[in-house]
Structure 1
Amino acid sequence: MFHKYKIAEYIVFSFQLVLGIMILNVEPLSAQEFQIQLDRPDNLPSGTQVSYRAIRVGKSFSPSQSGNVPQTYKDGSKIKYEIALQGRVQTEQSSDSSQLSIKITQFHANDELIDEGLKLELKNQTLQIQEKNGQKTFEANGTLIEGFDLEMLELLFSVDAWGKVGTDKAFGSAHSQTVGNTWTFQPSVASLREILPLDTTDEEEIGSKFECTGKAKLFGQTTIAGRECLQFRFSERCPDCLSGKTPDGLEVVGGFVERTITGTLPVDPRFPWQKVNFKSGWSITRKITKPPLSGIKIQTSLFDEVTREITYP
Protein backbone atom coordinates (compact mmCIF):
# COMPACT_ATOMS: atom_id res chain seq x y z
CA MET A 1 0.00 0.00 0.00
CA PHE A 2 1.31 3.38 -1.00
CA HIS A 3 1.85 6.08 1.55
CA LYS A 4 0.24 9.40 0.84
CA TYR A 5 3.50 11.04 -0.20
CA LYS A 6 4.26 8.08 -2.51
CA ILE A 7 0.84 8.49 -4.17
CA ALA A 8 1.56 12.17 -4.67
CA GLU A 9 4.94 11.38 -6.21
CA TYR A 10 3.35 8.79 -8.52
CA ILE A 11 0.69 11.26 -9.67
CA VAL A 12 3.31 13.92 -10.42
CA PHE A 13 5.51 11.37 -12.24
CA SER A 14 2.56 10.12 -14.28
CA PHE A 15 1.62 13.67 -15.24
CA GLN A 16 5.21 14.43 -16.29
CA LEU A 17 5.36 11.21 -18.33
CA VAL A 18 2.12 11.96 -20.16
CA LEU A 19 3.16 15.58 -20.75
CA GLY A 20 6.52 14.39 -22.12
CA ILE A 21 4.81 12.00 -24.53
CA MET A 22 2.48 14.79 -25.67
CA ILE A 23 5.42 17.14 -26.28
CA LEU A 24 7.29 14.49 -28.25
CA ASN A 25 4.29 13.98 -30.50
CA VAL A 26 3.64 17.65 -31.22
CA GLU A 27 4.99 18.67 -34.62
CA PRO A 28 6.90 21.99 -34.66
CA LEU A 29 5.07 24.89 -36.24
CA SER A 30 6.51 25.88 -39.60
CA ALA A 31 7.38 29.53 -40.19
CA GLN A 32 4.89 31.43 -42.31
CA GLU A 33 6.00 32.08 -45.87
CA PHE A 34 5.24 35.31 -47.70
CA GLN A 35 5.22 36.03 -51.39
CA ILE A 36 7.50 38.98 -52.11
CA GLN A 37 5.50 41.70 -53.90
CA LEU A 38 7.48 44.95 -53.87
CA ASP A 39 5.75 46.65 -56.83
CA ARG A 40 2.80 48.57 -55.43
CA PRO A 41 0.13 50.95 -56.76
CA ASP A 42 0.43 54.69 -56.15
CA ASN A 43 -3.20 55.14 -55.19
CA LEU A 44 -3.54 57.39 -52.16
CA PRO A 45 -7.15 57.99 -51.10
CA SER A 46 -8.28 61.51 -50.31
CA GLY A 47 -7.58 62.27 -46.65
CA THR A 48 -4.39 60.19 -46.51
CA GLN A 49 -1.77 61.85 -44.30
CA VAL A 50 1.74 61.99 -45.74
CA SER A 51 5.03 62.88 -44.11
CA TYR A 52 8.33 63.53 -45.93
CA ARG A 53 11.75 64.34 -44.47
CA ALA A 54 15.16 64.73 -46.12
CA ILE A 55 18.64 65.32 -44.73
CA ARG A 56 21.67 66.04 -46.92
CA VAL A 57 25.14 66.04 -45.36
CA GLY A 58 28.30 66.79 -47.31
CA LYS A 59 31.90 67.62 -46.56
CA SER A 60 35.21 68.16 -48.34
CA PHE A 61 38.54 68.30 -46.51
CA SER A 62 42.11 67.04 -46.50
CA PRO A 63 42.77 64.12 -44.16
CA SER A 64 46.52 64.84 -44.43
CA GLN A 65 48.01 66.33 -41.26
CA SER A 66 51.48 67.19 -42.53
CA GLY A 67 52.75 70.73 -42.10
CA ASN A 68 52.72 71.60 -45.80
CA VAL A 69 48.93 71.22 -46.03
CA PRO A 70 47.20 74.63 -45.90
CA GLN A 71 44.84 75.02 -42.94
CA THR A 72 41.95 75.82 -45.29
CA TYR A 73 42.36 72.35 -46.80
CA LYS A 74 42.37 70.74 -43.36
CA ASP A 75 39.30 72.67 -42.23
CA GLY A 76 37.53 72.05 -45.52
CA SER A 77 33.85 72.78 -45.94
CA LYS A 78 30.63 71.04 -44.98
CA ILE A 79 26.88 71.34 -45.39
CA LYS A 80 23.84 69.99 -43.60
CA TYR A 81 20.42 70.59 -45.13
CA GLU A 82 17.14 69.53 -43.53
CA ILE A 83 13.72 69.86 -45.10
CA ALA A 84 10.43 68.25 -44.06
CA LEU A 85 6.70 68.56 -44.62
CA GLN A 86 3.43 66.99 -43.53
CA GLY A 87 0.14 67.20 -45.31
CA ARG A 88 -3.08 65.58 -46.38
CA VAL A 89 -3.95 64.26 -49.82
CA GLN A 90 -6.82 66.37 -51.18
CA THR A 91 -7.85 64.40 -54.24
CA GLU A 92 -7.63 60.67 -54.73
CA GLN A 93 -4.63 59.54 -56.70
CA SER A 94 -5.38 56.51 -58.87
CA SER A 95 -2.82 53.97 -60.05
CA ASP A 96 -2.93 55.36 -63.59
CA SER A 97 -2.67 59.00 -62.52
CA SER A 98 0.54 61.06 -62.53
CA GLN A 99 -0.87 63.92 -60.44
CA LEU A 100 -1.02 64.40 -56.70
CA SER A 101 -2.39 67.31 -54.67
CA ILE A 102 -1.33 67.77 -51.02
CA LYS A 103 -2.57 70.37 -48.54
CA ILE A 104 0.55 71.16 -46.50
CA THR A 105 -0.08 71.42 -42.74
CA GLN A 106 3.55 71.55 -41.54
CA PHE A 107 6.75 72.66 -43.28
CA HIS A 108 10.32 72.99 -42.01
CA ALA A 109 13.67 73.97 -43.49
CA ASN A 110 16.77 74.49 -41.36
CA ASP A 111 18.62 77.81 -41.23
CA GLU A 112 21.55 76.55 -43.31
CA LEU A 113 19.22 75.64 -46.13
CA ILE A 114 17.55 79.05 -45.99
CA ASP A 115 20.95 80.78 -45.93
CA GLU A 116 21.86 78.81 -49.04
CA GLY A 117 18.93 80.42 -50.85
CA LEU A 118 15.82 78.32 -50.21
CA LYS A 119 12.73 80.51 -50.55
CA LEU A 120 10.03 77.88 -50.06
CA GLU A 121 7.34 78.40 -47.45
CA LEU A 122 4.68 75.77 -48.04
CA LYS A 123 2.69 75.72 -44.79
CA ASN A 124 -1.06 76.06 -45.48
CA GLN A 125 -0.44 75.95 -49.23
CA THR A 126 -1.54 73.34 -51.75
CA LEU A 127 1.34 71.51 -53.37
CA GLN A 128 0.54 70.00 -56.76
CA ILE A 129 2.89 67.37 -58.15
CA GLN A 130 2.78 66.15 -61.72
CA GLU A 131 5.06 63.51 -63.19
CA LYS A 132 5.79 63.13 -66.90
CA ASN A 133 8.52 61.04 -68.51
CA GLY A 134 10.08 60.38 -65.13
CA GLN A 135 10.34 64.08 -64.26
CA LYS A 136 8.32 65.78 -61.55
CA THR A 137 7.03 69.34 -61.65
CA PHE A 138 5.82 71.14 -58.53
CA GLU A 139 3.38 74.00 -58.12
CA ALA A 140 2.51 75.77 -54.87
CA ASN A 141 -0.89 77.48 -55.03
CA GLY A 142 -0.56 77.49 -58.81
CA THR A 143 2.99 78.93 -58.94
CA LEU A 144 5.65 76.77 -60.63
CA ILE A 145 8.61 75.97 -58.36
CA GLU A 146 12.05 76.31 -59.95
CA GLY A 147 15.77 76.65 -59.20
CA PHE A 148 17.19 75.64 -55.83
CA ASP A 149 13.70 75.24 -54.37
CA LEU A 150 12.93 72.67 -57.08
CA GLU A 151 16.20 70.82 -56.42
CA MET A 152 15.32 70.34 -52.75
CA LEU A 153 11.75 69.23 -53.49
CA GLU A 154 13.10 66.70 -56.00
CA LEU A 155 15.30 65.34 -53.22
CA LEU A 156 12.40 65.27 -50.76
CA PHE A 157 10.10 63.36 -53.12
CA SER A 158 12.77 61.12 -54.68
CA VAL A 159 11.70 58.37 -52.29
CA ASP A 160 8.44 58.02 -54.26
CA ALA A 161 10.33 56.11 -56.94
CA TRP A 162 10.54 53.17 -54.55
CA GLY A 163 7.76 50.63 -55.07
CA LYS A 164 6.97 51.59 -58.65
CA VAL A 165 6.87 48.97 -61.40
CA GLY A 166 10.32 47.41 -61.68
CA THR A 167 11.13 47.30 -57.94
CA ASP A 168 10.35 43.59 -57.83
CA LYS A 169 12.56 42.89 -60.85
CA ALA A 170 15.50 44.80 -59.38
CA PHE A 171 15.29 43.88 -55.68
CA GLY A 172 12.75 41.10 -55.23
CA SER A 173 12.80 37.34 -54.89
CA ALA A 174 11.08 34.78 -57.09
CA HIS A 175 10.66 32.55 -54.04
CA SER A 176 8.46 32.98 -51.00
CA GLN A 177 10.37 34.04 -47.88
CA THR A 178 9.97 33.75 -44.12
CA VAL A 179 10.89 36.39 -41.56
CA GLY A 180 14.66 36.30 -41.07
CA ASN A 181 15.44 35.12 -44.60
CA THR A 182 17.96 36.89 -46.83
CA TRP A 183 18.63 36.85 -50.57
CA THR A 184 20.91 38.63 -53.01
CA PHE A 185 20.20 40.84 -56.00
CA GLN A 186 22.31 42.44 -58.72
CA PRO A 187 22.56 46.21 -58.16
CA SER A 188 21.58 48.51 -61.01
CA VAL A 189 24.79 50.07 -62.29
CA ALA A 190 22.81 52.87 -63.97
CA SER A 191 21.06 53.90 -60.76
CA LEU A 192 24.28 53.71 -58.74
CA ARG A 193 26.05 55.92 -61.28
CA GLU A 194 23.32 58.52 -60.82
CA ILE A 195 24.35 58.88 -57.17
CA LEU A 196 27.89 59.88 -58.13
CA PRO A 197 28.64 63.48 -59.22
CA LEU A 198 30.16 62.43 -62.56
CA ASP A 199 29.24 63.37 -66.08
CA THR A 200 30.04 61.12 -69.05
CA THR A 201 33.37 62.85 -69.72
CA ASP A 202 34.55 62.40 -66.13
CA GLU A 203 33.65 58.74 -66.17
CA GLU A 204 35.51 58.09 -69.43
CA GLU A 205 38.60 59.85 -68.10
CA ILE A 206 38.89 58.27 -64.67
CA GLY A 207 37.09 54.99 -65.25
CA SER A 208 34.63 53.26 -62.98
CA LYS A 209 33.71 49.75 -61.98
CA PHE A 210 30.68 48.62 -60.07
CA GLU A 211 31.46 45.14 -58.81
CA CYS A 212 29.19 44.54 -55.87
CA THR A 213 26.33 42.38 -54.71
CA GLY A 214 23.12 43.62 -53.19
CA LYS A 215 21.70 42.00 -50.07
CA ALA A 216 18.05 41.88 -49.05
CA LYS A 217 16.43 40.75 -45.82
CA LEU A 218 12.88 40.26 -44.62
CA PHE A 219 13.69 41.14 -41.03
CA GLY A 220 10.37 41.69 -39.32
CA GLN A 221 6.60 41.45 -39.17
CA THR A 222 4.29 43.99 -37.55
CA THR A 223 0.74 45.31 -37.53
CA ILE A 224 -0.04 48.96 -38.34
CA ALA A 225 -3.58 50.33 -38.14
CA GLY A 226 -4.92 46.78 -38.25
CA ARG A 227 -2.94 45.83 -41.36
CA GLU A 228 -0.39 43.04 -41.33
CA CYS A 229 2.95 44.39 -42.59
CA LEU A 230 6.39 43.09 -43.45
CA GLN A 231 9.68 44.89 -42.82
CA PHE A 232 12.48 44.81 -45.37
CA ARG A 233 16.05 46.03 -45.73
CA PHE A 234 17.98 46.28 -49.01
CA SER A 235 21.63 47.30 -49.10
CA GLU A 236 24.32 47.66 -51.74
CA ARG A 237 27.86 49.03 -51.53
CA CYS A 238 30.48 49.27 -54.25
CA PRO A 239 33.97 49.84 -52.82
CA ASP A 240 36.88 51.09 -54.92
CA CYS A 241 34.57 51.93 -57.80
CA LEU A 242 36.65 54.87 -59.10
CA SER A 243 40.28 55.30 -60.10
CA GLY A 244 42.41 57.24 -62.57
CA LYS A 245 43.55 60.79 -63.38
CA THR A 246 41.72 63.91 -64.53
CA PRO A 247 43.09 66.72 -66.71
CA ASP A 248 42.85 69.29 -63.91
CA GLY A 249 45.75 67.77 -61.99
CA LEU A 250 43.88 65.38 -59.73
CA GLU A 251 44.21 61.63 -59.36
CA VAL A 252 41.29 59.63 -57.99
CA VAL A 253 42.78 57.17 -55.51
CA GLY A 254 39.62 55.80 -53.96
CA GLY A 255 35.87 56.02 -53.88
CA PHE A 256 32.72 54.15 -52.99
CA VAL A 257 29.00 54.43 -53.47
CA GLU A 258 26.36 52.87 -51.23
CA ARG A 259 22.62 52.71 -50.76
CA THR A 260 20.29 51.26 -48.13
CA ILE A 261 16.50 51.09 -48.31
CA THR A 262 14.46 50.10 -45.25
CA GLY A 263 10.70 49.87 -45.49
CA THR A 264 7.42 48.61 -44.09
CA LEU A 265 5.05 47.00 -46.58
CA PRO A 266 1.45 45.80 -46.09
CA VAL A 267 1.01 42.11 -46.92
CA ASP A 268 -2.11 43.05 -48.91
CA PRO A 269 -0.75 43.93 -52.40
CA ARG A 270 -3.50 46.53 -52.95
CA PHE A 271 -1.73 48.99 -50.64
CA PRO A 272 1.50 50.99 -51.21
CA TRP A 273 4.53 51.01 -48.93
CA GLN A 274 3.53 52.43 -45.54
CA LYS A 275 7.01 53.71 -44.69
CA VAL A 276 10.25 53.96 -46.66
CA ASN A 277 13.67 55.16 -45.51
CA PHE A 278 16.12 55.72 -48.34
CA LYS A 279 19.83 56.33 -47.66
CA SER A 280 22.38 56.86 -50.41
CA GLY A 281 25.79 58.44 -50.66
CA TRP A 282 29.27 58.49 -52.05
CA SER A 283 32.81 59.32 -51.05
CA ILE A 284 35.73 60.13 -53.37
CA THR A 285 39.38 60.67 -52.44
CA ARG A 286 41.48 62.69 -54.88
CA LYS A 287 45.22 63.41 -54.80
CA ILE A 288 46.73 66.60 -56.19
CA THR A 289 49.39 65.74 -58.76
CA LYS A 290 50.65 69.22 -59.66
CA PRO A 291 53.00 71.41 -57.55
CA PRO A 292 53.12 73.18 -55.20
CA LEU A 293 50.49 71.04 -53.45
CA SER A 294 51.27 67.71 -55.12
CA GLY A 295 50.62 64.70 -52.92
CA ILE A 296 47.88 66.31 -50.84
CA LYS A 297 44.68 64.26 -50.68
CA ILE A 298 41.19 65.76 -50.71
CA GLN A 299 38.25 63.66 -49.50
CA THR A 300 34.75 64.64 -50.61
CA SER A 301 31.48 62.95 -49.61
CA LEU A 302 27.75 63.50 -49.85
CA PHE A 303 25.04 61.47 -48.13
CA ASP A 304 21.26 61.77 -48.37
CA GLU A 305 18.57 60.29 -46.14
CA VAL A 306 14.95 60.59 -47.23
CA THR A 307 11.92 59.20 -45.37
CA ARG A 308 8.28 58.95 -46.39
CA GLU A 309 5.43 57.72 -44.20
CA ILE A 310 1.72 57.51 -44.98
CA THR A 311 -1.29 57.13 -42.68
CA TYR A 312 -4.64 56.17 -44.16
CA PRO A 313 -7.81 58.02 -43.12
Structure 2
Amino acid sequence: MSLSPATRARVRARIALSHALTITPMGAVIAVRNRNLAASGATRRLWGPLAGVLRHRPLTPLEEIALPDRPDVRLTVVRSRLVQLLFWYGATGYEGAETHWWRVLCAQAGRILEVGANIGYYTVQGANAAPGTPYTTVEANPEAAAIVSRNVELNGLGNVQVVQAAVVGDGAPATMQLALPDQEQYAAPTGAYLSEGAEGINDRPAGTTVTVPTRPMSELVEGVDLLKLDIEGYEATVLESVRPWLLAQRPTIVIEVLKNVPRLRKLICELRGAGYEVRAIGDTSLHAITDEQLNADVPLPRFGSRDVILVPSERLHTLTPH
Protein backbone atom coordinates (compact mmCIF):
# COMPACT_ATOMS: atom_id res chain seq x y z
CA MET A 1 0.00 0.00 0.00
CA SER A 2 1.17 3.55 -0.77
CA LEU A 3 -0.14 7.04 -0.18
CA SER A 4 -2.93 8.18 -2.47
CA PRO A 5 -2.02 10.96 -4.92
CA ALA A 6 -4.15 13.41 -2.93
CA THR A 7 -2.46 12.52 0.37
CA ARG A 8 0.98 12.63 -1.24
CA ALA A 9 0.18 16.09 -2.58
CA ARG A 10 -0.93 17.29 0.88
CA VAL A 11 2.30 16.01 2.45
CA ARG A 12 4.39 17.79 -0.17
CA ALA A 13 2.39 20.99 0.23
CA ARG A 14 2.86 20.87 4.02
CA ILE A 15 6.62 20.42 3.62
CA ALA A 16 6.81 23.26 1.10
CA LEU A 17 4.81 25.54 3.39
CA SER A 18 7.10 24.67 6.30
CA HIS A 19 10.17 25.66 4.27
CA ALA A 20 8.57 28.87 3.03
CA LEU A 21 7.59 30.01 6.51
CA THR A 22 11.17 29.95 7.77
CA ILE A 23 11.51 33.54 6.50
CA THR A 24 9.12 34.62 9.29
CA PRO A 25 11.18 35.89 12.26
CA MET A 26 10.75 33.80 15.40
CA GLY A 27 9.92 36.95 17.36
CA ALA A 28 6.91 37.53 15.11
CA VAL A 29 5.90 33.86 15.47
CA ILE A 30 5.94 34.09 19.27
CA ALA A 31 3.96 37.34 19.16
CA VAL A 32 1.24 35.73 17.02
CA ARG A 33 1.18 32.68 19.30
CA ASN A 34 0.70 34.85 22.38
CA ARG A 35 -1.97 37.02 20.75
CA ASN A 36 -3.89 33.95 19.63
CA LEU A 37 -3.77 32.36 23.08
CA ALA A 38 -5.01 35.58 24.70
CA ALA A 39 -7.70 36.26 22.08
CA SER A 40 -11.41 35.55 22.34
CA GLY A 41 -14.48 36.18 20.25
CA ALA A 42 -13.88 38.31 17.15
CA THR A 43 -10.17 38.70 17.84
CA ARG A 44 -9.78 34.91 18.01
CA ARG A 45 -11.31 34.73 14.53
CA LEU A 46 -8.56 37.09 13.40
CA TRP A 47 -5.55 35.48 15.08
CA GLY A 48 -6.68 31.84 14.89
CA PRO A 49 -6.28 31.37 11.12
CA LEU A 50 -2.90 33.11 11.14
CA ALA A 51 -1.73 30.84 13.96
CA GLY A 52 -3.08 27.86 12.01
CA VAL A 53 -0.74 28.70 9.14
CA LEU A 54 2.33 29.77 11.13
CA ARG A 55 2.20 26.63 13.29
CA HIS A 56 3.78 24.81 10.34
CA ARG A 57 6.94 26.94 10.67
CA PRO A 58 9.85 25.01 12.20
CA LEU A 59 10.66 26.25 15.70
CA THR A 60 14.36 26.66 14.99
CA PRO A 61 16.47 28.46 16.17
CA LEU A 62 14.75 27.63 19.50
CA GLU A 63 16.38 24.68 21.26
CA GLU A 64 13.69 24.17 23.89
CA ILE A 65 10.26 25.49 24.77
CA ALA A 66 8.21 25.94 27.92
CA LEU A 67 4.50 25.27 27.51
CA PRO A 68 2.68 28.62 27.43
CA ASP A 69 0.15 27.50 30.06
CA ARG A 70 2.53 25.29 32.09
CA PRO A 71 5.95 26.96 32.13
CA ASP A 72 7.20 24.28 34.52
CA VAL A 73 6.96 21.75 31.66
CA ARG A 74 9.69 22.07 29.05
CA LEU A 75 10.34 20.19 25.83
CA THR A 76 13.32 19.86 23.53
CA VAL A 77 12.66 21.36 20.10
CA VAL A 78 12.74 18.63 17.48
CA ARG A 79 10.96 18.01 14.21
CA SER A 80 7.72 16.80 15.77
CA ARG A 81 4.04 17.53 15.21
CA LEU A 82 3.47 17.29 18.97
CA VAL A 83 6.11 19.89 19.80
CA GLN A 84 4.65 22.26 17.21
CA LEU A 85 1.11 21.90 18.59
CA LEU A 86 2.21 22.21 22.22
CA PHE A 87 4.21 25.36 21.45
CA TRP A 88 1.18 26.96 19.79
CA TYR A 89 -1.70 25.76 21.94
CA GLY A 90 -0.19 24.56 25.21
CA ALA A 91 -1.29 21.68 27.42
CA THR A 92 -4.87 22.96 27.51
CA GLY A 93 -5.17 23.27 23.75
CA TYR A 94 -3.56 19.91 22.95
CA GLU A 95 -5.31 16.94 24.59
CA GLY A 96 -6.05 19.06 27.63
CA ALA A 97 -8.50 16.62 29.24
CA GLU A 98 -6.22 13.62 28.69
CA THR A 99 -3.30 15.52 30.21
CA HIS A 100 -5.40 16.56 33.21
CA TRP A 101 -6.57 13.03 33.99
CA TRP A 102 -3.12 11.53 33.47
CA ARG A 103 -1.68 13.97 36.02
CA VAL A 104 -4.51 13.15 38.45
CA LEU A 105 -3.92 9.40 38.12
CA CYS A 106 -0.13 9.68 38.36
CA ALA A 107 -0.37 11.76 41.53
CA GLN A 108 -2.26 8.85 43.17
CA ALA A 109 -0.12 5.98 41.82
CA GLY A 110 2.54 3.88 43.53
CA ARG A 111 4.41 2.77 40.38
CA ILE A 112 3.75 3.88 36.79
CA LEU A 113 4.40 2.19 33.44
CA GLU A 114 3.89 4.07 30.17
CA VAL A 115 4.16 2.06 26.95
CA GLY A 116 4.47 4.16 23.79
CA ALA A 117 5.99 7.44 24.93
CA ASN A 118 6.72 9.09 21.57
CA ILE A 119 8.63 12.28 22.56
CA GLY A 120 7.78 11.87 26.25
CA TYR A 121 5.12 14.55 26.63
CA TYR A 122 2.91 12.42 28.88
CA THR A 123 6.02 11.12 30.62
CA VAL A 124 7.04 14.64 31.58
CA GLN A 125 3.52 15.62 32.62
CA GLY A 126 2.94 12.45 34.65
CA ALA A 127 6.32 12.39 36.36
CA ASN A 128 6.02 16.12 37.08
CA ALA A 129 2.74 15.40 38.90
CA ALA A 130 4.29 12.49 40.85
CA PRO A 131 7.93 13.41 41.49
CA GLY A 132 8.52 10.71 44.10
CA THR A 133 6.87 7.85 42.19
CA PRO A 134 8.90 5.28 40.17
CA TYR A 135 8.00 5.82 36.51
CA THR A 136 9.10 3.56 33.64
CA THR A 137 8.48 4.88 30.13
CA VAL A 138 9.02 2.76 27.01
CA GLU A 139 9.39 3.85 23.39
CA ALA A 140 10.22 1.59 20.45
CA ASN A 141 11.52 4.18 17.95
CA PRO A 142 15.20 4.77 18.82
CA GLU A 143 15.11 8.38 17.61
CA ALA A 144 12.00 9.12 19.65
CA ALA A 145 13.38 7.32 22.73
CA ALA A 146 16.46 9.57 22.61
CA ILE A 147 14.13 12.58 22.62
CA VAL A 148 12.28 11.16 25.64
CA SER A 149 15.58 10.91 27.51
CA ARG A 150 16.43 14.51 26.65
CA ASN A 151 13.04 15.74 27.85
CA VAL A 152 13.33 13.76 31.07
CA GLU A 153 16.75 15.30 31.71
CA LEU A 154 15.57 18.78 30.71
CA ASN A 155 12.83 18.61 33.36
CA GLY A 156 15.05 17.12 36.06
CA LEU A 157 12.89 14.01 36.48
CA GLY A 158 15.05 11.66 38.48
CA ASN A 159 12.22 9.20 39.05
CA VAL A 160 11.95 8.20 35.37
CA GLN A 161 13.57 5.21 33.68
CA VAL A 162 13.54 5.31 29.86
CA VAL A 163 13.52 1.99 27.99
CA GLN A 164 14.05 1.84 24.21
CA ALA A 165 12.19 -1.26 23.02
CA ALA A 166 8.97 -2.50 21.51
CA VAL A 167 6.84 -4.06 24.24
CA VAL A 168 5.59 -7.49 23.22
CA GLY A 169 4.16 -10.72 24.60
CA ASP A 170 6.21 -13.67 25.85
CA GLY A 171 7.83 -15.70 23.10
CA ALA A 172 8.15 -12.84 20.63
CA PRO A 173 11.39 -12.51 18.64
CA ALA A 174 14.24 -10.47 20.09
CA THR A 175 13.78 -7.81 17.39
CA MET A 176 10.86 -6.64 15.27
CA GLN A 177 10.23 -4.15 12.48
CA LEU A 178 8.74 -0.78 13.42
CA ALA A 179 6.93 0.86 10.48
CA LEU A 180 7.21 4.65 10.08
CA PRO A 181 4.14 5.98 8.22
CA ASP A 182 4.81 7.77 4.93
CA GLN A 183 2.36 10.52 5.86
CA GLU A 184 4.38 11.64 8.90
CA GLN A 185 7.66 13.26 7.93
CA TYR A 186 8.84 13.85 11.49
CA ALA A 187 11.68 12.72 13.75
CA ALA A 188 9.15 11.00 16.02
CA PRO A 189 6.01 10.04 14.06
CA THR A 190 3.04 9.51 16.35
CA GLY A 191 1.60 6.72 14.19
CA ALA A 192 4.59 4.33 14.07
CA TYR A 193 3.48 0.71 14.48
CA LEU A 194 4.89 -2.81 14.61
CA SER A 195 4.70 -4.37 11.16
CA GLU A 196 3.29 -7.69 12.42
CA GLY A 197 0.40 -8.23 14.81
CA ALA A 198 -1.09 -4.74 15.10
CA GLU A 199 -4.81 -4.24 14.48
CA GLY A 200 -6.63 -1.17 13.20
CA ILE A 201 -3.74 0.34 11.21
CA ASN A 202 -4.44 -0.91 7.66
CA ASP A 203 -4.79 2.67 6.36
CA ARG A 204 -1.19 3.65 7.17
CA PRO A 205 1.19 2.91 4.30
CA ALA A 206 4.81 2.84 5.46
CA GLY A 207 7.75 2.51 3.09
CA THR A 208 10.31 2.81 5.88
CA THR A 209 10.90 0.38 8.73
CA VAL A 210 13.50 0.23 11.48
CA THR A 211 14.62 -2.83 13.42
CA VAL A 212 13.99 -2.41 17.15
CA PRO A 213 14.67 -4.60 20.20
CA THR A 214 11.72 -6.11 22.02
CA ARG A 215 10.89 -6.39 25.71
CA PRO A 216 8.22 -8.74 27.10
CA MET A 217 5.48 -6.95 28.99
CA SER A 218 5.78 -9.53 31.77
CA GLU A 219 9.24 -8.16 32.60
CA LEU A 220 7.94 -4.62 33.14
CA VAL A 221 4.77 -4.89 35.22
CA GLU A 222 5.97 -5.89 38.69
CA GLY A 223 4.55 -3.50 41.27
CA VAL A 224 2.79 -1.33 38.65
CA ASP A 225 -0.62 0.03 39.64
CA LEU A 226 -1.02 2.58 36.82
CA LEU A 227 -0.51 1.65 33.19
CA LYS A 228 -0.75 3.73 30.01
CA LEU A 229 -0.65 2.22 26.52
CA ASP A 230 -0.53 4.02 23.18
CA ILE A 231 1.13 1.56 20.80
CA GLU A 232 -0.94 1.83 17.64
CA GLY A 233 -2.98 -1.35 17.53
CA TYR A 234 -0.63 -3.59 19.52
CA GLU A 235 -2.39 -3.00 22.84
CA ALA A 236 -4.40 -6.25 22.77
CA THR A 237 -1.35 -8.43 22.17
CA VAL A 238 0.52 -6.82 25.06
CA LEU A 239 -2.38 -6.93 27.54
CA GLU A 240 -3.37 -10.49 26.63
CA SER A 241 0.16 -11.61 27.48
CA VAL A 242 -0.30 -10.43 31.10
CA ARG A 243 -4.01 -11.22 31.54
CA PRO A 244 -3.50 -13.18 34.83
CA TRP A 245 -1.51 -10.26 36.23
CA LEU A 246 -4.23 -7.79 35.20
CA LEU A 247 -6.93 -9.82 36.95
CA ALA A 248 -4.84 -10.37 40.09
CA GLN A 249 -3.24 -6.95 40.55
CA ARG A 250 -6.01 -4.80 39.01
CA PRO A 251 -4.02 -1.77 37.86
CA THR A 252 -5.74 1.33 36.53
CA ILE A 253 -5.26 1.44 32.74
CA VAL A 254 -5.32 4.37 30.32
CA ILE A 255 -5.49 3.10 26.77
CA GLU A 256 -6.02 4.39 23.25
CA VAL A 257 -8.83 2.60 21.41
CA LEU A 258 -8.71 2.78 17.61
CA LYS A 259 -11.39 1.69 15.18
CA ASN A 260 -11.28 -1.94 14.00
CA VAL A 261 -9.64 -3.37 17.11
CA PRO A 262 -11.94 -6.31 17.99
CA ARG A 263 -9.37 -8.11 20.18
CA LEU A 264 -8.85 -5.04 22.33
CA ARG A 265 -12.59 -4.43 22.63
CA LYS A 266 -13.10 -8.04 23.68
CA LEU A 267 -10.43 -7.72 26.34
CA ILE A 268 -11.98 -4.50 27.68
CA CYS A 269 -15.32 -6.34 27.92
CA GLU A 270 -13.60 -9.13 29.87
CA LEU A 271 -12.12 -6.60 32.28
CA ARG A 272 -15.52 -4.99 32.74
CA GLY A 273 -16.86 -8.43 33.63
CA ALA A 274 -14.05 -8.74 36.18
CA GLY A 275 -15.11 -5.58 37.99
CA TYR A 276 -13.55 -2.78 35.98
CA GLU A 277 -15.38 0.46 35.17
CA VAL A 278 -14.77 1.96 31.70
CA ARG A 279 -14.75 5.71 31.21
CA ALA A 280 -14.11 7.70 28.04
CA ILE A 281 -12.21 10.93 28.45
CA GLY A 282 -14.34 13.82 27.23
CA ASP A 283 -13.52 17.49 26.78
CA THR A 284 -14.93 18.46 30.17
CA SER A 285 -15.78 15.22 31.98
CA LEU A 286 -15.58 11.43 31.95
CA HIS A 287 -18.32 9.39 30.26
CA ALA A 288 -19.42 5.86 31.11
CA ILE A 289 -19.05 3.45 28.18
CA THR A 290 -21.87 0.97 27.70
CA ASP A 291 -21.63 -2.67 26.61
CA GLU A 292 -23.31 -1.69 23.34
CA GLN A 293 -20.61 0.88 22.63
CA LEU A 294 -17.88 -1.60 23.52
CA ASN A 295 -19.28 -4.21 21.14
CA ALA A 296 -20.03 -1.83 18.24
CA ASP A 297 -17.43 -1.57 15.48
CA VAL A 298 -17.26 2.22 15.64
CA PRO A 299 -14.73 4.43 17.42
CA LEU A 300 -15.18 4.42 21.17
CA PRO A 301 -14.02 8.00 21.62
CA ARG A 302 -17.25 9.86 20.95
CA PHE A 303 -16.43 12.65 23.36
CA GLY A 304 -13.36 14.33 21.87
CA SER A 305 -10.70 11.73 22.72
CA ARG A 306 -9.53 8.27 21.68
CA ASP A 307 -8.45 7.41 25.23
CA VAL A 308 -10.41 5.49 27.83
CA ILE A 309 -9.71 4.82 31.50
CA LEU A 310 -10.24 1.34 32.91
CA VAL A 311 -10.42 1.58 36.69
CA PRO A 312 -11.28 -1.17 39.22
CA SER A 313 -14.72 -0.46 40.63
CA GLU A 314 -13.30 -0.24 44.17
CA ARG A 315 -11.16 2.72 43.02
CA LEU A 316 -13.75 4.53 40.94
CA HIS A 317 -13.97 7.22 43.63
CA THR A 318 -10.41 8.29 42.78
CA LEU A 319 -11.68 9.75 39.52
CA THR A 320 -12.63 13.05 41.04
CA PRO A 321 -14.42 15.68 38.93
CA HIS A 322 -12.49 18.17 36.82
TM-score over 0.5 for the pair = no
TM-score with structure 1 length normalisation?
Answer: 0.25
TM-score with structure 2 length normalisation?
Answer: 0.24
Q: In proportion to residue count, which structure has more helix?
A: 2
Q: In proportion to residue count, which structure has more strand?
A: 1
